[in-house]
Chains A and B, each alone.
Chain A
Amino acid sequence: MIRLQTEPFEPGALLAQFSAGRSETGAVVSFTGLARGEAGSVERLELEACPGFTDAEIARFADEASLRFNLHDVLIVHRTGQIAPGEAIVFVATASVHRREAFEAADYLMDYLKSRAPFWKKQHGRDGAAWIEPTDRDHDDLKRWSTTP
């Protein structure tokens, strides 16, 4: 399931809910990304999505990841709007029979989300505001998956 929301979320609650009621899943992996303050230079992040398009693109990618890694389930929750340093910005959880697939799928989904997902990110800080583009490292991280896992 893919969810975009402006409200803050509680990663622990999401993980508990995602893990509940599974009798055939042997592994659940979760990742929580937090907004960084960069030693006080970032006051807030502003994240913009195109509703109906951004969620559909992420869902398409999550479906592909589910097939590739034989997942039982995926949950992606992503904040949009105004995000303060220290707040959770993204939550990814994957469920599979064994741990390897769940670990790799969560890693893969995060590399996609950080570099290719349709978001526009603006950093507001003491030196003004600037739109952010994916870093070289984000692109390199995604390239790791171009060979068969």
Chain B
Amino acid sequence: MARVLLFGPLRDLAGWRERTFDPAPATLSALRSVLASLDAALGEAIDGKGVQVAVDKALVRGDVALSPGCEIAFLPPMSGG
């Protein structure tokens, strides 16, 4: 199982904030494909400029392996406080 979190405008675009995927996709790129097949606009948005990804609260770059139980957060450009 993997838990996916969307923040800011991504949450509005998708219409959900949190969703679980069971079983967890093996990699981040596999998860991106799953999300794009469910919602093409979301798939495009999470590949967009300035969108960062945190796996288990740590930023990652490029493709990474996902372990069962992990949490993947898609973080659009930040607004500041």
Is there contact, CB below 8 Å, between A132 and B81? no
**A122 / chain B contacts, CB cutoff of 8 Å:** 8
For residue B54, which residue of chain A has the nearest CB?
A53
Could you pull out 13 A-B pairs where Cβ atoms are within 8 angstroms? A50-B5, A50-B73, A50-B75, A53-B75, A90-B81, A113-B80, A113-B81, A114-B81, A116-B78, A116-B80, A118-B78, A120-B78, A121-B80
**Contact (Cβ within 8 A) A131 B54:** no
Residues on A close to B: CB < 8 A?
Answer: 33, 47-48, 50, 52-53, 56, 78, 89-90, 113-122, 131-134, 138
The residues in B between 1 and 22 inclusive whose CB is less than 8 angstroms from any CB of A are: 5, 7-9, 11-12
**Residue in B7, B9, B80 whose beta carbon sits within 8 Å of that of A138 in the complex:** B80
**Contact yes or no, A119 B57, CB < 8 A:** no
A117 CA / B77 CA spacing, docked (Å): 10
Considering the chains assembled together, what is the distance between the CA atoms of A138 and B77 in angstroms? 14
Tell whether, in the assembled complex, residue A118 and residue B75 are in contact, meaning their CB atoms are under 8 Å apart: yes
- B61 to chain A: closest CB distance in Å? 15
A72 to B25: give the CA distance in the assembly, Å: 46
Q: Are B81 and A52 in contact (CB under 8 A)?
A: no
Report B7 CB to chain A, min CB distance, Å: 5
